[in-house]
Amino acid sequence: MSHVFPRHTKSDLPVIASGEGCYLFDKSGKKYLDGSGGAAVSCLGHGDPEIAAAISAQLEKVAFAHTGFFTSEPAEMLADLLAENGPADIDRVFFVSGGSEAVEAAIKLARQYFIETGEPQRHRLIARRQSYHGNTLGALAAGGNEWRRRPFAPIMIETSHIAPCYEYRNRREGETAFEYGQRAAGELEDEILRLGPETVMAFIAEPVVGATAGAVPAVEGYFRRIREICDTYGVLMILDEVMCGMGRTGTLFACEQEDVAPDIVTIAKGLGAGYQPVGAMLCTAKLYEAIENGSGFFQHGHTYIGHPVACAASLAVLRAMLDRDLIARVQEKGDRLSDALHTAFGQHPHVGDIRGRGLFRGIELVEDRATKAPFSPDRNINKRVKAAAFKAGLICYPMGGTIDGARGDHVLLAPPFIIEDNQIDELVTKLDSALEAV
Ligand code: PMP
């Protein structure tokens, strides 16, 4: 009998034994192609010796020293490299242990910024209905997935949700993509005005929506308009790049492709590439200085912030990404994956949309391609696709997201950046066979 508390109490999971490159092996010897990097985590693949060496070198020096007493070389060097390669104006990095913690830090920094700068009445957070920001209470409140939120709603902070930018379902006939994006962004302004601009603290969104929707980028101009609206009303813009950041979409930060500079960005997953549990909240000098010139203390933290081993692993991951030119490779292999998905599923009767950027791609499964009608939730399509793919030796990330109120099934693909062409073909062939089986 197992004493581990699994999320699905009735599940009977295989035991992982080893990993090499794009593959994982369980104890029975079965081989799995990691087509989603778990949940968009394993961007360097498995068993990278350079990362293992960096971790063990740090372990030999010192595993842990509390940030109440010390900073560390890996944390300092990693923060320098992130600030140097990050979005314009991003200047400071607060290291945590994962994505939810990064989002909590972002929300609390936004709140404290307004206290420090004499606007304590600003406390409201606006997010989007199609979003996932984590499972801790603040991050869960920000997220828009109704199924995840509902049981905990009575104990969550109040958050407003506007419509996502979701061209496949929400662009009206006769409207250009640009016009649609401006209309969708306009909802933020309406909501700020409804709440009272002087009470609104921040807006949070994923530049490319991951878990709830399957790699949905916004249309051209949407985020620029969001930035303008935030600036008009003095609202902070938080971009959650926990899933889509760290090279995943073909640029180190996904927001580079939107031509906007956020006030706060969150990253995790690809930051440690699965070699260590790590995340970070990055902010502008303006926000940091408000605290520095005010109380001088960010009223937040955890025991393991800035963990030296986690930072050493992440530093090695980021250096590998830059030195091995992996981000250019994401663009090239991402195009290859997109072409392969269009060839295999472009005419598929149950694939409504194929989308994404870089090695962050999604397909949306529908009952009827013409009407875009989703499958009924009780058919459990996404769970069945996941099981069929797993049986066939493919790890992909199917979910039944909340699609702006309605429910829909999608499959998210986020393979390691080192994926080869023949492995892309294997991924698509296995996914095809899983869809057929379902
Ligand atoms: N934000 C986004 C965009 C995510 O995709 C996730 C995880 N799927 C999180 C936050 C939460 O990260 P974690 O699971 O590491 O807490």
- Is the same domain home to 360 and 381? yes
Taking all residues of the chain, what is their mean pLDDT, rounded to a whole number?
Answer: 96
Kind and range of the H or E run holding 80: helix 73-85
**Helices in 196-307 by DSSP H: which ranges?**
222-233, 285-292
Ligand 1 within 6 A of CB of 326: no
Q: Which two tokens stand for residue 344?
A: 């295999």
118 CA distance to ligand 1 centroid (A)? Answer: 31
List residues bridging with 410 in a β-sheet. Answer: 364, 399
**Same domain as 254, residue 354:** no
Residue 69 domain-assigned?
Answer: yes
Phi and psi torsions of 33, nearest 5°: -80, 125
Q: Return left, alpha or beta for 84; rule: phi > 0 is left, psi -120 to 50 is alpha, else beta.
A: alpha
Number of domains in the chain: 2
Give the CATH number for residue 196: 3.40.640.10
- Global confidence as pTM: 0.98
SS3 48: coil
Q: Which of 7, 42, 100 to mutate to test the pocket of ligand 1 (most atoms within 8 A of CB)?
A: 100
**What band does 405 get if pLDDT is binned at 50, 70 and 90?**
low
Label residue 383 exposed, middle or buried (CB < 10 Å: 0-12, 13-18, 19+): middle
The answer on 351 and 336 residing in a single domain is yes
In whole angstroms, what is the distance from residue 427 CA to residue 415 CA?
A: 9
Instruction: Answer yes or no: do 265 and 382 share one domain.
Output: no
Q: Is the CB of 341 under 6 A from ligand 1?
A: no
List all residues 6 or more positions away from 107 whose beta carbon is below 8 Å from its beta carbon. Answer: 125, 138, 139, 142, 202, 204, 238
CA of 210 to the centre of ligand 1 (A): 9
- Give mean pLDDT, residues 270-279: 98
Residue finishing a domain among 323, 357, 377: 323
Q: What's the mean pLDDT in 134-155?
A: 94
Query: 412 in ligand 1 pocket by Cβ < 6 Å?
Result: no
- Which residue has tokens 């609202």? 235
Domain match, 139 and 22 both: no
Q: State how beta strands 406-413 and 360-365 pair.
A: antiparallel
Ligand 1 atom 15: the closest Cα is on which residue? 99
Say yes or no: CB of residue 39 within 6 Å of ligand 1: yes
Distance CA 41, CA 145 (A): 21
**Binding site membership of 272 for ligand 1 (Cβ less than 6 Å):** no
Nearest to residue 433, comparing CAs of 398, 388, 402, 396?
Answer: 388
CA 133–ligand 1 middle distance (angstroms) = 5
pLDDT of residue 406: 66
Ligand 1 centroid–CA 368 distance in Å is 31
**Which residue range(s) make up the domain with 313?**
52-323
Q: CB of 98 closer than 6 A to ligand 1?
A: yes
In a domain, 1, yes or no: no
Q: Tell me, in angstroms, the distance from the centre of ligand 1 to residue 153's CA.
A: 19
Asked whether residue 256 falls in the same domain as residue 369, the answer is no
Query: Is any atom of ligand 1 closer than 6 Å to the C-beta of 245?
Result: no
CA–chain centroid gap for 105, Å, is 16
User: β-strand 31-34 against 23-26: which pairing, if any?
Assistant: antiparallel
Are residue 77 and residue 121 in the same domain, yes or no?
A: yes
Q: Is the pLDDT of residue 68 over 80?
A: yes
Calculate Rg over the CA atoms of the chain. 21
In a domain, 4, yes or no: no
The answer on 379 and 245 residing in a single domain is no
Contact 309, 73 (CB under 8 A): no
Q: Give the pLDDT score at 155.
A: 96
Q: How far is the CA of 39 from the centre of ligand 1 (A)?
A: 9
ipTM above 0.85, yes or no: yes
pLDDT band at 188 (very low <50, low <70, confident <90, very high): very high
Closest ligand 1 atom to Cα of 210: 5
> Of the candidates 308, 323, 338, which is a domain's last residue?
323
Q: Quick check: helix, strand or coil at residue 284?
A: strand
Number of Cβ within 10 Å of residue 323's Cβ equals: 9
Asked if residue 2 belongs to a domain, the reply is no
Q: Is the pLDDT of residue 408 over 70?
A: yes
Give yes or no: residues 220 and 272 share one domain: yes
Residues across the chain: 438
Residue 9 inside a domain? The answer is: no
Q: Does some domain include residue 423?
A: yes
292: CB partners within 8 A, 6+ apart: none
Whether the predicted pLDDT of 288 surpasses 70: yes
**pLDDT digit string, tens, across residues 308-349:** 999 999 999 999 999 999 999 999 999 999 999 999 999 999
Q: Please say if the pLDDT value at position 428 is more than 80.
A: yes
Residue 104 counted as domain residue: yes
Looking at 303, 323, 343, which one is the last position of a domain? 323
Q: What percent of the chain has pLDDT over 90?
A: 93
- Do 109 and 123 sit in the same domain of this protein? yes
Q: Which atom of ligand 1 is nearest to the CA of 99?
A: 12
Contact 403, 169 (CB under 8 A): yes
Q: Are residues 231 and 156 in the same domain?
A: yes
Q: How far does the centroid of ligand 1 lie from the alpha carbon of residue 242, in Å?
A: 6
Ligand 1: residue of 7, 43, 97, 132 to mutate (most ligand atoms within 8 A of CB) is 132
Integer Cα distance of 317 and 295 in angstroms? 35
Q: What is the pLDDT of residues 194-253, one digit of tens each?
A: 999 999 999 999 999 999 999 999 999 999 999 999 999 999 999 999 999 999 999 999
CA 79-128-232 angle, to 5 degrees, is: 75
Note whether residue 244 is domain-resident: yes
Same domain, 135 and 283: yes
d(CA 132, ligand 1 centre) in Å: 7
For the domain that residue 432 is a member of, what is the CATH number? 3.90.1150.10
Q: What is the pLDDT of residues 416-426, one digit of tens each?
A: 999 999 999 99
